[in-house]
A and B are shown apart, each in its own frame.
Chain A
Amino acid sequence: MPDHSDQEIVEKALGGDMRAFRLLVERHQSLVYKLAYRFVGARGDAEDITQETFIRLWKNLNRYRPEIKLTTWLYKIVANLCLDFLKSKYNRQTKRSVELDDHRGMSSEWSADQSLLDKELRSAVEKLTRDFSPKQKAVFVLRDLEDLTMQEIAEILSMSAGKVKSNLYYARKKMGELIALYYQMKTPAKP
């Protein structure tokens, strides 16, 4: 069964085959978790969203349409869950503490790789994306980090192409301003 296409596995799962559904989970859980993490920026929350995504997938499996890629559908579920999560946080105006613990608590191999990067800028970039509106963040993550097409993003977020563009514009503008500021601060003032 591992060689089967997603569509074939979905059909088996629809017939009540729980092993088939388990295979879908094993195949896509990393992708779902990675996307969720990029939205919410916390490992625990990303894992909860990953679980909820597959529960929703299972509950709505009979609505699956083969003409849509399963990954696109998964992206849609994750994006909606993350948007709800971010909106509730955004509305409460709470500021989550940076989950640096997550990074520090990783294996030594992973930490060593990350330590090669400019931590200061990385932290600033991550902090800035937390100040994006939920929609700006969604568009930014899907386009600039996940490299999805504009059409896919519009479909996943149920947004018009114009709205996607306008959110993307503001997100990139903010990000550009931050990076410019960062370089200004790093460049020593000329005497």
Chain B
Amino acid sequence: MNCLEAERRINLYRELTEREREETHRHLETCASCSQIMERAIEMQRMMRSQYPDPPPMVDESTMTSRIMNAVEEIQQKRSSSVFRGLFANQFNNPLRYAMAAVSLFLVVAFVTEYSLENKTALLEKPYRLVPGKKTELNSASFHDAFIASREKNKGITTSLYECVLNCLRLQDEDCADCKNKFSKP
């Protein structure tokens, strides 16, 4: 063992194994300068124990206890004032919280998937909007059945002058009060 290693071991003497101590002692028997370092280290340990200042006492133990308990109770009140936090922070531990979050996420994903499969385009379909002047191409086949059904349902019911005139012309009704009244207006 060289002096460098011996010096390291002297500073870590308390932490050495029995074997390491024996090796160190064998070196110290033959090395005066390391022996001196060892003596100094022992002295240092002794001095440390006696000279390192003890902490001054606390202001007052009961004051400190009250200070801590007040701080803790304040936090407790803040927690219990929030229902959500009260439920999830106090009554459930972390693993349970994570499990509940995972179940919730799974249910949302399952619902969306199920809904999309049943109504294939329902969630993605854009609403049709008629924009005046915009050229659009309609697939009349899509609207045909609905149009025919609507026409049959609203047969005889006129909602505008234009539709009333068209209807009267089709039925050859020359005495329609609605059309006549509307045309006769100044």
- Report A-chain residues with C-beta under 8 Å of the C-beta of B61: 26, 29-30
- Kindly state the separation between the CA atoms of A179 and B43 in the bound complex, as whole angstroms: 9
- Whether the Cβ atoms of A55 and B52 lie closer than 8 Å is no
**Mask for A119-160, Cβ within 8 A of B = 1, else 0?**
001100110000000000000000111000010000000000
Residues in B lying within 8 Å of A, measured CB to CB: 8, 11-12, 14-15, 37, 40-41, 43-45, 47-48, 50-59, 61, 64-65, 67-69, 71-73, 75-76, 93
User: Do A179 and B47 form a contact, CB below 8 Å, given A25-B69, A126-B53?
Assistant: yes
Contact of A121 among B41, B47, B93 (CB under 8 A): B47
- Whether the Cβ atoms of A175 and B58 lie closer than 8 Å is no
- Kindly state the separation between the CA atoms of A114 and B50 in the bound complex, as whole angstroms: 11
- Report B-chain residues with C-beta under 8 Å of the C-beta of A169: 8, 11-12
Tell me how many residues of A have a C-beta within 8 Å of chain B.
47
Residues in A lying within 8 Å of B, measured CB to CB: 18, 21-22, 25-26, 29-30, 33-34, 37-38, 43, 46-47, 50-51, 54-55, 58-59, 62, 102-103, 105-107, 110, 114, 117-118, 121-122, 125-126, 143-145, 150, 165, 168-169, 172-173, 175-176, 179-180
Chain B contact residues: over half helix, strand or loop, or mixed?
helix
* 7 closest cross-chain pairs (CB), A and B: A37-B55, A172-B11, A54-B68, A102-B56, A179-B44, A58-B72, A34-B55
CB distance from A11 to the nearest CB of B (A): 14
- Whether the Cβ atoms of B12 and A33 lie closer than 8 Å is no
Known: A58-B72, A172-B12. 11 other contacts (CB 8 A): A25-B65, A30-B61, A33-B64, A47-B64, A54-B72, A55-B71, A62-B93, A114-B53, A176-B44, A179-B44, A179-B47
- Kindly state the separation between the CA atoms of A176 and B40 in the bound complex, as whole angstroms: 7
Closest to A174 in B: B11
Closest to A107 in B: B57
The winner among B12, B50, B51, B93 for most chain A CB atoms within 10 A is B51
Closest to B36 in A: A180
- Report A-chain residues with C-beta under 8 Å of the C-beta of B53: 103, 114, 117, 122, 125-126
- Whether the Cβ atoms of B64 and A168 lie closer than 8 Å is no
- Report A-chain residues with C-beta under 8 Å of the C-beta of B69: 18, 21-22, 25
The winner among A103, A114, A176 for most chain B CB atoms within 10 A is A176
- Report B-chain residues with C-beta under 8 Å of the C-beta of A114: 53-54
- Report B-chain residues with C-beta under 8 Å of the C-beta of A143: 14
